[in-house]
Amino acid sequence: MTFLLLIAASLDAGDVQTRAPARRKPDPGTAVISGRVIDAASGRPIDGAVVTLTVQSRFVIFFRAMERPRVSVMTRADGRFTFRNVAAGAHDLQAASPGYIAGVYGQRRPGGSARQVDVDPAEEVSVTIRLWRFGAIAGTIFDEAGEPVVGQEVRALRRVYAGGRYHLRIAGADWTDDRGSYRIGALQPDGYLVVPAITQRAVAASLTESSQAPVGTAIVRIGPTLHVIGVDSPVPPLQPGSNRLFIYPALFYAGALSAAQATTIAVSSGEERANVDFQFLPVPAARVSGRAFEALPGAHVVLRLYQAASTDVSDAIVAEAFSDANGAYMFPAVPAGDYLLKALSTTADDNRWASLGFSVGQRDVSNLDFVLRPGLRILGRVDVYGGSPLLARDMHVAIDAADGSVLDVQPAPVTPASRFTIDRLPAGSYVIRVGSVPPGWMVRSISHEGRDVTDTAFALSTDAEVTVTLTNRLTEVFGATRSAAGEPDPDAAVVVFPADRDAWLDVNSSRVRSVRPDRNGEFRVTGLPPGDYLIAAVPAEDMDAADPSIFAELARDAESVRLDEGVKKDVSLKTRAKARR
């Protein structure tokens, strides 16, 4: 049936036939949605874009009604498209085209918020969907002799806000070819830091099947064992007259040791930034060795080394090593600096961990021993307040590291007995997140040791018990947005955020919401936890709820509202001028 729907919609759009058949008379009471897909930078129409309509109510096309289908058409040479026989209601409209970032109706910037298309019976609505082209960053890598570095991974990193501070996340990557050239494509317009992904991996030869090193690596004899280094990164040649190993350190563009000193490469829609080049220069390195105690039986210890000042970079591993059967390990080549060592011994049923900081200078670091600790558990239950027990069929509980670091921990489903378990955690500071709360309910509180930790970090040093309490007495804030001229402003974005400035640091908080009003400028936000809030309307292109720096600007003239359980508040908003960043 879906296949037939797609054919019918495409024929109705008039793209695929030179001689169009007679159109069926529109079904009474249905609407027409038409519009254009354009390049956001140039305003030119985009030919052949696929536009998809997803309904929130019922959709009727030719023969019968269906629940929440999706139907797609292609734009013509003038970028136009048409959907006929659309049932009244609110609908989602998306567009995609090769070379462009997929977009949705209402977006005023890449990744911005969407608006639904509201239609009444027998109404014809025209809309415009903007798409932004992908950008790219390109360059070349040479070694100290001016020769191209082949097969080196290069990453483009993008700043994101999490856990109360900015972090860097991998937005794209490429590997150098035989000329040492790379090109990182499919980048959305933004600013990026570029860095070669240099990770030294050391494996005792006793753990490998042979002492044959892969191409681009080196086998080094240290004491009674062999170590394979540079598995994923190039290794410079041994320096004449020196008994020390040399390596190529990871440097941000242009030659910066840290992200704070790096040059940001701004990429606009469709732009390719060329000549982002690197030269690898070798630096002396020291050996770091020790032993991990209390590893799990039959499990080797995986050790990863991070720069202490660069823990905001996802997967920015300086070096990786594997212990032998006795827990002994060695990093054969570590440049001078401050580091964080994380160790993990894991099996299918359990894990043990350790974390410690240390510094490397000109001398080797030996006897860096530590004891692995058992993984910790969070045991939880879900209670209800103001209602009878509920069946939380799809509800789950997740956990975030308070410092924003990436965790390899899956969300825990809530069982029919309203219990959940999150296990195999290292000690640290965490924030509990609750997902897929049943309709008509919201999180009232999350408590740990008698303290409310809703959207608040708590320290985990031993196994802990957590209680999630739900309530069906929902809060609601609603109203309308108006422009400076006093007209309804459907192009605004409404943001609700806590009045408490300390709560602004967590943009993933359930107390932060951003919504788009309907075509009449009306908005509605339900299920916010009780408390004091500020609410403001801004131009949609200015709104980025993932950046808390905007809250200080909005707080100056935002409306204050107090939300208690079961209380509804009506607020009228005037869209403010463009935010000053």
Regarding whether 346 and 225 lie in a shared domain, the answer is yes
What is the residue-averaged pLDDT of the chain? 82
Q: What is d(CA 264, CA 38) in angstroms, rounded to the nearest whole number?
A: 29
Prediction pTM value: 0.78
Instruction: Give domain status of residue 245, yes or no.
Output: no
Instruction: Give domain status of residue 385, yes or no.
Output: yes
CATH number for position 144: 2.60.40.1120
Instruction: Give domain status of residue 580, yes or no.
Output: no
In contact, 283 and 332? CB cutoff 8 Å: no
Regarding whether 254 and 179 lie in a shared domain, the answer is yes
Give me the residue label for tokens 């249905």: 30
- Over residues 505-516, the pLDDT tens digits come to 666 678 888 888
SS3 105: coil
Enter the DSSP assignment of 46: -
Q: How far is CA 550 from CA 480, 543, 544, in A?
A: 21, 8, 8
In contact, 376 and 464? CB cutoff 8 Å: yes
Amino acid letter for position 314: S
Regarding whether 296 and 215 lie in a shared domain, the answer is yes
Regarding whether 480 and 450 lie in a shared domain, the answer is no
Determine the average pLDDT of the residues in 83-104: 93
Query: Among residues 374, 401, 419, which one ends one of the domains?
Result: 374
Structure tokens at 111: 């990744």
Regarding whether 314 and 210 lie in a shared domain, the answer is yes
**Bigger pLDDT: 26 or 9?**
26
**Bigger pLDDT: 549 or 64?**
549
> Any bridge partners for residue 526, and if so which?
476
Regarding whether 204 and 336 lie in a shared domain, the answer is yes
Regarding whether 10 and 21 lie in a shared domain, the answer is yes
Q: How far is CA 368 from CA 171, 355, 365, in A?
A: 35, 12, 7
Instruction: Give domain status of residue 562, yes or no.
Output: yes
- Over residues 295-327, the pLDDT tens digits come to 888 778 889 888 876 545 444 678 888 888 888
Regarding whether 260 and 166 lie in a shared domain, the answer is yes
Instruction: Give domain status of residue 170, yes or no.
Output: yes
Instruction: Give domain status of residue 212, yes or no.
Output: yes
- Which structural domain range is residue 52 located in? 2-131
Q: What is d(CA 452, CA 432) in angstroms, rounded to the nearest whole number?
A: 11
Regarding whether 208 and 357 lie in a shared domain, the answer is yes
Enter the DSSP assignment of 375: P
Instruction: Give domain status of residue 459, yes or no.
Output: yes
Structure tokens at 464: 């802990």
**Percent over 90 (pLDDT), the chain:** 42
Regarding whether 511 and 406 lie in a shared domain, the answer is no
Q: How many domains, in total, are found in the chain?
A: 5
> What length does the chain have?
581
What one-character-per-residue DSSP string does 195-255 give?
EE---EEEEEGGGSS-SPPPTT-EEEEETTEEEEE-SSS--PPPPTT--S-EEPPP-BTTT
Which secondary-structure segment (H or E) carries 484? none
Regarding whether 319 and 185 lie in a shared domain, the answer is no
CATH number for position 16: 2.60.40.10
- Over residues 269-305, the pLDDT tens digits come to 999 999 999 999 998 889 899 999 988 887 788 898 8
Instruction: Give domain status of residue 239, yes or no.
Output: no
Regarding whether 485 and 508 lie in a shared domain, the answer is yes
Query: Among residues 342, 374, 406, which one ends one of the domains?
Result: 374
Q: Is 13 exposed, middle or buried (0-12, 13-18, 19+ CB in 10 A)?
A: buried
Query: Among residues 107, 131, 155, which one ends one of the domains?
Result: 131
